């Protein structure tokens, strides 16, 4: 059985449209679990009504039989904790073989994308997670990505820009990695849409609850690796990702940048062994770059 986890944040219309127009294309047996972050009685009622779903406020309680569940969560748990809540609910009450973790701003390019991903994932013994080709509205591929150190990501990529050709910069920092990536094991799979084996997801401890909005894919890659499992990129099927549509409605660019650096600092320190001193100076140089850039506008 497949459990599909969606985290909704003040976007009931988009979530309902995604469930009815896209997830309805999935032919394999599944449950849909919507974690309604920052829920209100109005948003709970709308989701429950639009999706013909069962509302729950207590994930421990045995649920009424349904294909779709809304978990009311008055607090905004963020992405990692929200998905963990939905996964915990599913694992407690159903026999789950796979989880589909998905944003609500996804459109299926291939109607059989989920079926083919599950089939390919089950044929791979050392793989715990699989993702399709993810294409943005600009036509560029958003997945997969290689590992980059914090200095490459936040310092050299920006400060060396004036001294490198576009081609050299792309080669040094692997900026075109997703465009040329072939099917196989890769470090990071886009977190907007992926399938993970339930046993492996549970075995690695689910997502790290210490992040709010960013770095979940990077951290999950490390957590799966700790139990001998890896990420797999399967470009034979594709989805369209309207990246950032929900985030841009509620978080300005500066706040988003700060949140991202904070999450990635946590990832680099805890999971990659980067020293706090190195993180401090990388942040210093990055903020200086942003400041100088703002002055040139």
pLDDT for the residue 245: 55
Spans of the chain below 50 pLDDT: none
Q: What is the pLDDT of residues 88-130, one digit of tens each?
A: 999 999 999 999 999 999 999 998 999 999 999 999 999 999 9
Give the Å distances, CA to CA, from 213 to 53, 228, 258, 259: 26, 26, 11, 7
Q: What is the dihedral of CA 265, 267, 272, 277, to 10 degrees?
A: 20
pLDDT for the residue 294: 82
Q: Which residues contact 201 (CB under 8 A, 6 or more apart)?
A: 87, 99, 128
Give the Å distances, CA to CA, from 126 to 95, 184, 230: 22, 12, 6
pLDDT for the residue 297: 61
Q: Are 83 and 7 in contact (CB under 8 A)?
A: yes
Domains (range + CATH), the chain: 2-144+181-244 (3.90.550.10)
Helix axes 276-295, 253-272, angle to 10 degrees: 160
DSSP string, 43-103: HHHHHHHHTT-EEES-TTSPPPS-SEEEEEESS--HHHHHHHHHHHHHHHHS--SEEEEE-
CA distance 41 to 68: 18
pLDDT for the residue 262: 94
pLDDT for the residue 158: 87
Q: What are phi and psi of 20, to 5 degrees?
A: -75, -35
Q: Which residues pair with 239 in a beta bridge?
A: 108, 134
Helix (H, G, I), strand (E, B) or coil at 235: strand
Helix (H, G, I), strand (E, B) or coil at 286: helix
pLDDT for the residue 244: 59
């Amino acid at each position: 059985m497949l459990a599909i986890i969606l985290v909704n944040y003040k976007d009931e219309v988009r979530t309902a449209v995604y469930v009815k127009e896209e997830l309805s294309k999935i032919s394999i047996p599944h449950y849909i679990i919507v974690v309604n972050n920052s829920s209100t009685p109005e948003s709970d009622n709308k989701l429950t009504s639009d999706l013909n779903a069962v509302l729950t406020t207590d994930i421990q309680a045995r649920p009424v039989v349904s294909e779709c569940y809304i978990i009311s969560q008055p607090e905004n748990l963020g992405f990692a904790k929200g998905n963990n809540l939905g996964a915990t609910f599913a694992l407690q009450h159903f026999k789950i073989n796979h989880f589909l973790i998905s944003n609500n701003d996804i459109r299926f390019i291939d109607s059989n994308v989920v079926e083919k991903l599950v089939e390919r994932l089950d044929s791979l013994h050392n793989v715990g997670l699989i993702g399709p080709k993810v294409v943005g509205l600009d036509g560029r591929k958003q997945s997969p990505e290689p590992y980059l150190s914090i200095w490459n990501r936040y310092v050299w990529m920006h400060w060396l820009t004036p001294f490198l050709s576009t081609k050299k910069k792309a080669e040094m920092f692997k900026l075109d990695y997703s465009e040329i990536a072939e099917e196989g094991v890769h470090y990071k799979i886009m977190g907007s849409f992926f399938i993970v084996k339930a046993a492996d997801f549970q075995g690695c401890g689910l997502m790290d609850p210490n992040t709010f909005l960013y770095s979940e894919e990077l951290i999950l890659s490390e957590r799966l690796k700790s139990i001998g499992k890896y990420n797999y990129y399967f470009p034979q099927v594709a989805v369209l990702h309207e990246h950032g549509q929900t985030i841009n409605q509620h978080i300005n660019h500066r706040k988003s940048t700060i949140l991202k650096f904070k999450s990635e600092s946590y990832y680099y320190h805890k999971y990659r062994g980067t020293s706090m001193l190195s993180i401090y100076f990388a942040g210093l140089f990055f903020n200086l770059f942003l400041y100088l850039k703002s002055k040139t506008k």
